[in-house]
């Protein structure tokens, strides 16, 4: 093989083998650059005789053109392969499920309600429901609030313009007790129920919002005592706060619908600015309770000579604060997703007594 043929075969092989633009450019410099092999040969043309030049000139020019063209072609192939590789790497399979990013959270109030339903559920309480817009009878009269009694205003009631069949203005329920009335009216004892839901009073500061949540419980049977009430509430406090050793005390109080009535305090520690349940020697009022007033039983069609029972009620939002530590109640209902992201619960973590709350 002539020298030129060897040079061409060598360069062509290198061009074919080049895997990227940088190595291809190195071949171009080796062949066609100022100091390149072909450029060097071209320079020798000037030193040749006219006959030699006539023979050599076309051969060298042909070689230069073929190598130049092979390099351009290879360069285009490399660019195309690079694009193909990039497209393959960036390919998206639209049929795959979206990545598992947690975007939603359970509101602490919903989570706590779930906890409460589980705790009382395991103690045999059924869950009852009632409307937010109540009649005066269910919210007040049947619960032994005398007509025109200032207690109706003490509850900072929202009255509606709409009236009921007795001609009395409807109200946004000021407590969940009307659900107790509804349950006693529709069901014969024994009754063992809780109800939870929205309640409304004209009040707004860091610890009060015009809409808040209550949970109430009611037990009616032929023999039901204050001791049963205490036992149930202590079991509840232990389960909810997940502490075995909890101090409670009952202080005499007044509610129209219970007699005797009491408020229950739990032992807590307030040092350091926050309230910690279960330690310390301070007290925190946590709920209202008592034995159902005979007038309430009568209003609900039950004979107080046969039946007796106890009832209790407390604020769900406050229970949530005490356990999970959200400082300002107004934030609960501000619908701020940053707050919810911070304080919300994973939808996959359903509370249960067996697995822990």
d(CA 259, CA 218) in angstroms, rounded, equals 14
**Which position among 118, 138, 152, 175 is part of the footprint of ligand PHE (CB under 6 A)?**
175
Take residue 284 and report the two structure tokens written for it.
């925190």
By CB under 6 A, residue 296 contacts ligand PHE: no
Q: Using the Cα atoms of residue 171, residue 172, residue 174 and residue 177 in order, give the sign of their dihedral.
A: positive
Take residue 140 and report the two structure tokens written for it.
């007040």
**Which position among 313, 317, 332, 345 is part of the footprint of ligand PHE (CB under 6 A)?**
313
Among all chains, which residue has been given the structure tokens 């947690």? 102
By CB under 6 A, residue 220 contacts ligand PHE: no
Residues facing 217 on adjacent strands: 194, 312
By CB under 6 A, residue 130 contacts ligand PHE: no
> Which residues in 254-273 contact ligand PHE (CB under 6 A)?
255, 258
> Contact at 8 Å (CB) between 308 and 227?
no
**Which position among 216, 232, 233, 300 is part of the footprint of ligand PHE (CB under 6 A)?**
216
Least Å distance, CB 175 to ligand PHE, is 3
Which one, of 182, 201, 211, 223, lies nearest residue 307 by Cα?
223
Residues 6+ positions from 284 with CB-CB distance below 8 Å: 265, 266, 268, 275, 277, 322
Part of the chain binding ligand PHE (CB under 6 A), chosen from 28-36, 58-66, 282-290, 346-354:
282-290
Take residue 213 and report the two structure tokens written for it.
């949540």
**Which position among 177, 209, 224, 232 is part of the footprint of ligand PHE (CB under 6 A)?**
177
By CB under 6 A, residue 209 contacts ligand PHE: no
Least Å distance, CB 345 to ligand PHE, is 26
Q: Measured from the CB atom, is 15 or 264 closer to ligand PHE?
A: 264
d(CA 146, CA 223) in angstroms, rounded, equals 27
**Which position among 288, 296, 332, 351 is part of the footprint of ligand PHE (CB under 6 A)?**
288
Binding stretches for ligand PHE (CB under 6 A): 175, 177, 216, 255, 258, 288-290, 311-313
């Amino acid at each position: 093989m002539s020298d030129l043929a060897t040079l061409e075969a060598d360069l062509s092989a290198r061009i074919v083998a080049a895997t990227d633009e940088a190595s291809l450019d190195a071949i171009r410099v080796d062949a066609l650059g100022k100091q390149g092999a072909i450029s060097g040969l071209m320079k020798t043309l000037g030193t040749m005789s006219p006959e030699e030049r006539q023979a050599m000139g076309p051969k060298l020019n042909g070689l230069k053109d073929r190598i130049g063209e092979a390099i351009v072609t290879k360069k285009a192939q490399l660019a195309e392969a690079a694009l193909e590789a990039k497209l393959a790497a960036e390919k998206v399979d639209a049929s795959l499920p979206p990545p598992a990013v947690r975007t939603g959270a359970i509101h602490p109030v919903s989570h706590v309600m779930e906890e409460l339903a589980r705790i009382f559920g395991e103690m045999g309480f059924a869950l009852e429901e009632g409307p937010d817009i109540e009649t005066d009878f269910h919210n007040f009269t049947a619960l032994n609030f005398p007509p025109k009694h200032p207690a109706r205003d003490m509850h900072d009631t929202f009255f509606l313009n709409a009236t009921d069949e007795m001609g009395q203005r409807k109200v946004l329920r000021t407590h969940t007790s009307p659900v107790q009335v509804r349950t006693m009216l529709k069901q014969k004892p024994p009754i063992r129920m809780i109800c939870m839901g929205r309640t409304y009073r004209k009040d707004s500061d860091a610890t009060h919002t015009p809409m808040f949540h209550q949970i109430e419980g009611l037990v009616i049977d032929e023999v039901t005592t204050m001791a049963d009430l205490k036992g149930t509430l202590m079991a509840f406090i232990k389960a909810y706060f997940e502490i075995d050793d909890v101090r409670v005390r009952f202080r005499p109080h007044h509610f129209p619908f219970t007699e005797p009535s009491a408020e229950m305090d739990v032992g807590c520690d307030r040092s350091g600015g926050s309230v910690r349940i279960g330690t310390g020697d301070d007290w925190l009022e946590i709920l209202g309770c008592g034995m159902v007033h005979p007038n309430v039983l009568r209003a609900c069609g039950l004979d107080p000579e046969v039946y007796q029972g106890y009832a209790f009620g407390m604020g769900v939002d406050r229970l949530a604060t005490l356990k999970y530590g959200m400082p300002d109640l107004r934030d609960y209902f501000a619908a701020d997703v940053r707050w919810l992201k911070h304080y919300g619960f994973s939808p996959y973590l359903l509370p249960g007594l067996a697995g822990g709350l």
